[in-house]
Amino acid sequence: NSSLPDVADGGPIFTEKLKNWTEKNEKRIILSQIVSMYLEMLENTDKTKGHVRRIFEELFTLKNSLPDGLKKLKDLKDLAKLPMSDLKIQRKAVNELFSVLQTLVETPTSSKRKRSQFQRKCKC
């Protein structure tokens, strides 16, 4: 029961995490995980109650529209585990450095460029 006093213990579990994810695409990643957790929680509930079934169906639909957060989470964990003191890993990293930096530089610049081009075209 969500009205029991222990619900407040330790603070919020999902809404507090959402505050750390500010960009729209970032939020979609964490929301994908949160929706999956709600679906897991509701999986074994009595879906004969209409409101529970509707919530479950809506969450399921939302889940399909969100990116696969588990894949992204696995990618982050794999990166964190890379032994950066390993010489082979270092050589591979150096080999990919230009490509990584190019991706990093292109992303914000391209959106800025589109915005500035639009502003120049508009003679309001």
pLDDT band at 88 (very low <50, low <70, confident <90, very high): very high
Reported residue count of the chain is: 124
pLDDT of residue 117: 57
| Domain ranges across the chain | 1-81, 83-124
CA distance 110 to 98: 18
pLDDT band at 119 (very low <50, low <70, confident <90, very high): low
pLDDT of residue 8: 72
24-46 pLDDT tens trace: 888 888 888 889 989 998 888 87
Give yes or no for a contact between 43 and 36, defined as CB atoms under 8 angstroms apart. no
Give the contacts of 52 (CB within 8 A, at least 6 positions apart).
42, 45, 46
* Whether pTM exceeds 0.85: no
pLDDT of residue 85: 93
CA distance 24 to 101: 23
